[in-house]
Structure 1
Amino acid sequence: MGVGMHIVYLGFAGSIPIEAEAGVQLVRLERFAGVLAGCHLAIEALKTPTGQTLYDARLDLMTRVDGFTPIGHCSSPDPREAVRQAFDAAERLLGDANRELRRSATE
């Protein structure tokens, strides 16, 4: 069974290309399925003072050990790029935690 994901759009309707990008990025986290129960992705459209739309992606991981683990906000004028940045940060965090666990097991 794979890692599940719930997506919420705030301030805009979302789109199939954004959901497709999130699905592609979720595949990157499948290798952590032993510790990752699922994730919640929120993408919010924000207006800057200059009127430009900026997309803020927030990814929260649901781990089997620690429960809820929030990943920092990632923003970009391109919502797909904001999603990629959020998953980059999650992959780094999970990879670091995985390496730390392996190191502890060998000591």
Structure 2
Amino acid sequence: MTGRVVECPIDEMNRPRGAEDAQLRIPPTGPEVGTLFKGWGGGLATCRKFAPTARNYTASKLMSQVGLRVSEACKLDLTDIKWDTWGASASSTSATARAPAARARVSRWFR
């Protein structure tokens, strides 16, 4: 947009206060995120408490693939997530979503 490439998402202007020793933080790659969710999804079958683990997994999946903020994901209700709208895909409607149309589609979540 400005023609300048920022080396780190936390540059000098956006660095938290009091963090002079902040390290260079590079976002994870797509395969690394895929490995995280594949392992996490596999652990759902053997977890001790299924409901909180499934809630955290689903919220994280929505935030990573749809782009919801944490505050938006916290405000979602079960009725806001349309699991069967497009067959193998899902949609989410958030009243405070940043997308112009507050509907987002996520295709082929649970392969």
TM-score by length of 1: 0.30
- Larger % of strand: which? 1
The structure carrying a bigger helix percent of its residues is: 1
Which structure carries more relative contact order (alpha carbon 8 Å, separation 6+)?
1
